[in-house]
Amino acid sequence: MSDLTGRTFLVTGANTGIGKETVRGLAGRGARVVLAGRSEEKTRAAMKEIADDTGNTDLDHLPLDLGDLGSVRTAAETFLAGGEPLHVLINNAGLAGSRGMTASGFELAFGTNHVGPFLFTELLRDHIVASGPGRIVNVASTGHYRAKGIDWEAVRRTTVTRTAFDEYCVSKLANVLHAQELGRRLEGTGVTTYSLHPGTIASDVWRAVPFGLRQVMTLFMQSTEQGARTSLYCATSPELAGHTGRYYDNQREKTPSEVATPELAAELWRRSEEWVSAYVR
């Protein structure tokens, strides 16, 4: 799609890194884009930069803290109250290298990277269907291949590993599984789903890694502009319109981890519904 005029996109984690470059790519093609994130100051600054760069001022900010399920529900309600359509949701926001728990009681990476986006998607998906045809895109990671499965007790406890990388990989496996099961559930509605690896990108996702180590790491990483390419491909490419639930890397379909089975996807969905049930009633 070279022209996205008349299409509304919502991008989480949109004021920095891959998310900001994704918004820039969409805005440059005429889309209306809602930037969801915690910091209004940083988001307004990103919006001004993108508007100056593209000439597109049809940008808006939506307050959202994915680690706080109350904030997730409020954000969804705020968007829906505006009455505008939503054609594409890009679950881009994520963190790595941070240890702890979310405000809603989940291991920090798992709660921020999966549970919050799961609830946000659930609260918006009927509206996306009604606005369709539409797409839901999960930014995952090649790190999901490292995960051996999901320890259902561990995701409700604080981070155990020193680097938090193992927990991050589990959360990225959850992103892949979520897209798979959501694609199955939305089959025939006109809404398709995708998960993807953006590349190893020098983005703000590594903000919790100690400064010196982060500086060395990013020397060997790709730019955020390169990282946005597969997100834009999954969100807009006409050739993917007939595909759903699949995983992409470098703008090509790729077989996900052998752990990413339909059975595990269904179990994750069941548990995720239970975890967020108080926020969808």
3-state SS record for the chain:
CCCCCCCEEEEECCCCHHHHHHHHHHHCCCCEEEEEECCHHHHHHHHHHHHHHHCCCCEEEEECCCCCHHHHHHHHHHHHHCCCCCCEEEECCCCCCCCCECCCCCEHHHHHHHHHHHHHHHHHHHHHHHHCCEEEEEECCHHHHHCCCCCCCHHHCCCCCCCCHHHHHHHHHHHHHHHHHHHHHCCCCCEEEEEEECCCECCHHHCCCCHHHHHHHHCCCECHHHHCHHHHHHHHCHHHCCCCCEEEECCEECCCCCCCCHHHHHHHHHHHHHHHHHHCC
Is 233 one of the annotated active-site residues of the chain?
Answer: no
Catalytic annotation, pick one of 168, 194, 247, 248: 168
Give the residue numbers annotated as catalytic, written as ranges. Answer: 168
